[in-house]
Amino acid sequence: MNLTDKELFRMAVKAEEHAYAPFSNFHVGAALLAKDGRVFTGVNIENSSYGATICAERTAMVKAISEGCLEFEAIAISGNGGTSWPCGICRQFMYEFCPDIRVISGEGEENLRSYALRELLPEGFKL
């Protein structure tokens, strides 16, 4: 499956519908494109114990990894329909599995930007 950045971003926006964000009201969706063409979506899931909150990017990656998928091409991220770049924890989490993944976000599908994760997290940590 050859998805465009716009198509992947649309999937991230659509995923936002399932976000659980009663505290921040900031709904984030992610669409993770695996090298085999599968797409795994994720949303942010907030918790009364704020530290237990999980971001959309990690939700998508955990879903993929739990299905045996470990190779990824790109991830599109949308926050309330617009730009949302990964937090530091998510950048490090993704770096563990795919330091060269393309990260896509923007103010709507007509204004998308993408960066290699290595650009967003130079000198990422890996044992």
In whole angstroms, give the CA distance from residue 74 to residue 116. 9
As given in the structure block, the two tokens for residue 97 are 């599995």
CB-based contact 109:100 (threshold 8 Å): no
Q: What amino acid is encoded at 68 in this protein? A: G
CA distance readout (Å), 119 to 90, 95, 115: 14, 11, 6
Tell me the catalytic residues: 57
H/E stretch holding 13: helix 5-15
φ, ψ at 121 (rounded to 5°): -140, 75
